[in-house]
Structure 1
């Protein structure tokens, strides 16, 4: 499951609900690519149901694009997909065209490099980095430091169940959390800082 967990047949993902419910999208098989399973995605989007409609979303380690496309299917306003691997990023762009979706932006870059610059705030952020590379903590720090989060943003983080606890900013509250097999997933609710509240 940690290596390559597919709930759809290998080489495709299935959109669970919304505008494109049941649609299957091709996915490049790539070492380390680990699409979020249908079961975990369904739980996550149940958690996000009150906020996903009209949300500006960032899929920071897009991979298959499963999280971002699910968000778009459920009427997110726009999704920015960040993906380092060029071929995988090209496949995400092709899938956006397949869905005739004009609210998807694909950036072929590493997430830390992208987030190191001053940001435009997102309402929902998906963090599902490759396991055992230390990317999650670095990304969390950059999101908060560089202005990538709206006042009450929600941040989804997926990691190995046995990994060290994630150190999050003091204004992030753990809203929901679960473990599925070897994967722990959490949804954080960000509280506005004093500067944003005024």
Structure 2
């Protein structure tokens, strides 16, 4: 998500900087030539154009955060990591996911007992990677995997997402069973938290 934020900042700068710089020179020239009315008109037009561009970029950024599944997965797993590290409880976890628009009302999180069974230790810090690709993609549902590393071990989880209204939302989150770990450990992962 940091990369997406940086990209949108750069796009904004690359679009707005030439508009502001070139028009600032023109406005200054008109001001010096005593064409005050023209200078104010030009300034107003430039300000309106900049506001329209900024609003467009913000709406495009928000759309991208919900439309690109890896970005949705990253945000979902970031909140999950806060839960397993003991920063938030299960109720807060669910509420944060709902408030962020990352899950549907019927979202099924991993139960606390199962987290303890597989080796998550509250208070321990984990580095997290997400799968580079999307799996089991049948058009409107898809699965992505996460690898949580801490204390010399790796724990794999998976999240199933559903696509509706131009957004991906998590339906369920589960721990990858032992018999599937060999298959999952062979896929490529991208680090999102170290």
Both structures adopt the same fold (TM-score exceeding 0.5): no
TM-score by length of 1: 0.25
Higher-helix-fraction structure: 2
